[in-house]
Structures are given as structure tokens and as C-alpha cells.
Amino acid sequence: MSVQELIEDIPFLSPYKWYGKVTRVVGLTIESKGPQASIGDLCYIIVGRAKKIKVKAEVVGFRDEFVLLMPLNGTTEIAPGSLVEATGKPLEIKVGSGLIGSVIDGCGEPLSKEQLPKGLRPFPTDNDPPNPLARPRIEEKMSLGVRAIDALFTVGKGQRIGIFAGSGVGKSTLLAMLAKNSAADLNVIALIGERGREVKDFIERDLGEEGLKKTILVVATSDQPALMRIKGAMTATAVAEYFRNQGLDVNLMMDSVTRFAMAQREIGLAVGEPPTSKGYTPSVFAMLPKLLERSGTAKKGSITAFYTVLVDGDDMNEPIADAVRGILDGHLVLDRKLANKGQFPAINVLKSISRVMADIVDDRHRAAAERLRQSLAVYDDNEDLINIGAYKRGSSAEIEQAIAIYPKIIAFLKQSTEESTSIDEAVERLINEFGRGGD
């Protein structure tokens, strides 16, 4: 905030601190008599015999004259009569270039328990999306270094893409490839609801030292309270927004939106919301667009976002997958069958789409991509006949052509985690091999 803004706020400042007292704890929620607070405000619950420990909690609702709080840490040592201190404002984090290369939790604190570097600025975690009329159109391509995506689902700066897959099909590995190889100025990666064991694996094995140098990692593991997992997603988005405001092109990657939705479902059920679609509460479907719309283009800079969606039983039409697909600007479907065949990244070309690609690529690129998809579709429709030897040679020129170029298609789509290609190299190879001149 500027000095002038601080001066203008002086008449609205209260000289008092507001306190309340814990009356009971029910499941995930803490009820207190007072303090005076608003939804989303951060409060401190003062616990311990020395009264020196402050547990962070957020106001999530009201019941009669009671305030409903949810802790960001845990409920250990909270007792009837524990003081609740209101801060009068929502959670803020500290952000700046000194944070690059760090691993932080959902509250913006270093996971290593070290001190935050100096020179950081306070920034709110819950912000409104940019005004739709203030968003520039997506007109510039973003090189991601993954050949299949750059060539067949070209992503623009400020586009939002969903990565849909069941468990163990390669979502985290694909995110790491994007983080290491993309042309973005900075990566912000949020691991929401991940197993604690996987965090270090992701940092050391998938991301590596080079990838971490231009990355800020936000981690909220599955053992943490639901509110901390929500804050992890909000904090990561806020960090990306801060750097977008500085004019940078940021890659925001969140793994996964499904666990964010599950955390919000826990909170909704705890405060008395009715379960609706497959147990998800109405607030889940209200929160999803508020979170996902915050990324994208702005007057300065852009946030190109990748959100993974964990589909239960590989069901692409379950409620969260359906809601997210309707909000985003495209989706990549990772197929377990392709992964079992050893094709990585296991992107199902026929089920994936980029809604922005047609606006940012030229005619030769578009024609070559369509030809590859058509040939793959023809082969896919007749794969069973081909594999069992029931297809008779010479029956269809289209099928003959699809069979002939199928090995080239698979070679084009496969890419090792160590391999990186620029978007220009990917498009040139696509046109040379699958354009009309490549016959």
C-alpha cells in the first residue's frame, strides 16, 4: 500500500482489539462467543498454559450468536474458554523475488522453518478475477517444450488448461516437464493434498535443481486441515498474480483441483451445507470459478495455468471434472491404456482440445495437426480389425494410409522427460511429417 492509502485508512482503524471465547469444538469447526469478525477474517486462538501459542483460524460461518472458526493448523490444546483474537482482516502472505526457489506452505511460510528472506511485500490471498473487459485477447503462443502439446494443442499466453487423468497416469511428471522446459519467466506450482512422501520426490526427481531455480512451490499435504489445503490453492494463485502484476509471464500449475474441491466439501459439510452432486456442497461449485478465473491475461503480464483433475475410476463426467472442463480454455486427457503401452506423455489426442489454438496458429500448422488427428482417428476406429488380422489389404485407401503413418505418429507423440523441443522445432517436424508435402 502507498503512504497516501495508509493515511486514508486512519479514520477507519479501531483502537481496540476484539476478543471472544471458545465454547465448543465439533468435528472440524470451533464455536466461539465473539469476537466481532466477518466471513474470511483471520483470527488467533490463544492456547497453552503460558498463553503464548497462537493457532491461526478463519471465520467460515455463524450459527445464532456464535462464530464458526476453522483452524489452519490443528485443534490440539484448544479448550473451552480459550481466547479468540480477531485481526480484522483476511490472511495475507509476503511475496517478492526473494521467494523464487523456495518451498512454502499454504500460509506462505517456508516449509523448511527458516526465516522468510527480506524485501518481501504483503499481498492478500483472496483476490477478485480481472475485469473481463480489461483482459487482453490471447494472441501469443507459449512454448512449453512438450512436442505433443506445442504441435497439436498449442497453448497461448494466458490460457487455462485442465489435465484430466486417473491416479498414476503421469500428471505430476507432465507438470515437471512443463516447469523445466517452458518459456515462461516463472513457475508457481501448487501441490494440494499430495502425499508427504511425494513432495521431496517431485522436487528432487521430477523438478530437479534447474527446474527449482525458476519455481516457487506451494505445498499443502493431505494430512493438513481442509482449510490449509484451500489456502494452498489460494496462496499459489496469489503468488502468480503478484508476479503477473509485475509484467511477467507466469506458469501456474496446480495438482490437483479435485483435492481442493474435496477440502471445500469438508468445510461445507462441517458448517451445515447440504450435500448435492455426489456429496459435493453448493459452495464447491461456487468456489471453482472464483479460483480458476483468477488466472489468465491481464493488462500487464499473464498467468498460463495448468490444473490437474483427478478423475475417480477414469470417469471423465464426474461432477468436478465436468464443472472444471466447462470453465477452462481446453483440456488434455491422459489415458491409462496409452500409459500401459509405454507411451509418455500419455495424452489421448482424440479426447483433448485447445480452444485457443485456432486463433494463434497459421493455416499450414492447423492443416498438419488436423491430418494427424484424422489419421489417428481412422486407425483407432479400426485398431481391433488390424490387430487380429481381419482387415484385408486394399479395402480402404484411408485405412492403408493410417496404417502406414501410425508408427510415425507414435514416435512424434512420445517424449522422454529429459528431452526438450521448442515450439518452432515441434511445428516444423509436424508440418514436414504430416503436412501435405510430407507424403
pLDDT at 41 over 90: yes
**How many C-beta neighbours within 10 Å does residue 2 have?**
7
Tell me the pTM. Answer: 0.91
d(CA 86, CA 24): 18
CA-angle at 91, arms to 89 and 94, nearest 5°: 120
Q: Whole-angstrom distance between the N-terminal and C-terminal Cα of the chain? A: 61
Percent of residues, the chain, with pLDDT higher than 90: 66
Distance CA 130, CA 159 (A): 14
Q: 251: helix, coil or strand? A: strand
258 pLDDT more than 90: yes
The residues, any chain, with a CB within 8 Å of residue 62's CB and separated by 6 or more, are 68
Q: Which residues pair with 191 in a beta bridge?
A: 219, 255
Where would I find the H helices in 137-195? 147-152, 171-181
Q: What is the residue type of 277?
A: S
Mean pLDDT of the chain: 90
Percent of the chain past pLDDT 70, that is, above it, reads 94
Q: What is the pLDDT of residue 350?
A: 95
Q: How many angstroms separate the Cα of 360 from the Cα of each of 16, 29, 150, 153, 253?
A: 56, 48, 12, 11, 22
The pLDDT of residue 161 is 97
Radius of gyration for the chain, computed over Cα atoms and rounded to the nearest angstrom? 25
Of the candidates 302, 256, 227, 252, which has an alpha carbon nearest to the alpha carbon of residue 163?
256
Pairing relationship of beta strands 83-86 and 42-47 according to DSSP bridges: antiparallel
Other Cβ atoms closer than 10 A to 419: 12
Residue of 48 and 229 predicted with greater confidence: 229
* pLDDT top residue among 185 and 316: 185
Backbone angles phi, psi at 153, to 5 degrees: -135, 50
Amino acid letter at 271?
A: V
The DSSP bridge partners found for residue 45 are 55, 84
Tell me the mean pLDDT in the region 83-87: 92
Please state, in angstroms and as integers, the Cα–Cα distance from residue 67 to each residue in 86, 266, 288, 342, following that order: 11, 18, 25, 54
Q: What is the pLDDT of residue 312?
A: 74
Question: Confidence class of residue 396 from pLDDT cuts 50, 70 and 90?
Answer: confident
Beta-carbon neighbour count of residue 126 at 10 Å?
17
Provide CB contacts within 8 A for 101, sequence distance 6+: 212, 213, 214, 215, 216
Tens-place pLDDT, residues 400-416: 899 999 999 999 999 99
10 Å Cβ neighbour count for 174?
A: 28
Instruction: Give the per-residue pLDDT at 50.
Output: 65
For residues 42 and 55, is the Cβ–Cβ distance under 8 A?
Answer: no
How many beta carbons lie within 10 A of that of residue 41, not counting itself? Answer: 20
Location of C-alpha cell 482440445: 353
**Helices marked H in 271-362 — which ranges?**
282-292, 319-327, 336-340, 357-360
State mean pLDDT over 365-377. Answer: 96
- DSSP assignments along 262-295, one per residue: HHHHHHHHHTTPPP-GGG--HHHHHHHHHHHTTS
Query: In a 3-state reduction of DSSP, which class is residue 145?
Result: coil
- pLDDT tens, position by position, 93-113: 999 999 999 999 999 999 988
Q: What are the cell numbers at 397?
A: 485407401
Contact, 310 vs 166, CB < 8 A? yes
Decide if 41 contacts 86 (C-beta within 8 A).
Answer: yes
Nearest C-alpha neighbor of 217 from the set 151, 198, 385: 198
- The CA distances from residue 242 to 93, 110, 122, 235, in Å, are 11, 18, 10, 10
Q: Is pLDDT at 240 greater than 90 in this prediction?
A: yes
Q: How confident is the model at residue 166 (pLDDT cuts 50, 70, 90)?
A: confident
What three-state secondary structure class fits 361?
coil
pLDDT tens-digit map of 263-309: 999 999 988 899 988 889 999 999 999 999 999 999 999 999 999 99
pLDDT at 253 over 90: yes
